[in-house]
Amino acid sequence: MPLSKARVEDYPGSSYITFISGIWTRINFSKADFKEKQSGNGELIEQTFEATITNTDSDNEAILQAVVSELGFLRIDYTNGGIKVAGTDKFPVLLEKDRSGSPAIFKLSFKRQSPEFAKYFKSF
């Protein structure tokens, strides 16, 4: 979700994002991986995300281009039903897009240092 189109209430240090509203863009990945690692107490958290998208038609490419063109939030829906949000209004994420291979695939990714872990999200 682009930061410019979101309403957010978030408190630093909380493991939950209190409130976020706006329209999420759903992207169907064939494979995705999100990792967080903190090397020591009080250190920044290294966050990495990489996803593979096999639908490379022009409509899907336009959607992906819109997603990578703005700072924002990344909602991660886990298979166990849990939801986390990477990025905050003070420290949003910026995704990168790459197209490669034959047949072509898209990769969306980011690697960044964050002051906080991704936050749990509960939609009511």
* CB-count burial class (<10 Å; 0-12, 13-18, 19+) for 34: middle
Question: If pLDDT is split at 50, 70 and 90, which confidence band does 47 have?
Answer: very high
pLDDT in tens, 51-86: 999 988 888 889 999 999 999 999 999 889 889 999
**pTM for the whole structure:** 0.87
Residue 52: per-residue pLDDT: 95
Q: Residue 16 pLDDT > 60, yes or no?
A: yes
Average pLDDT of every residue of the chain: 91
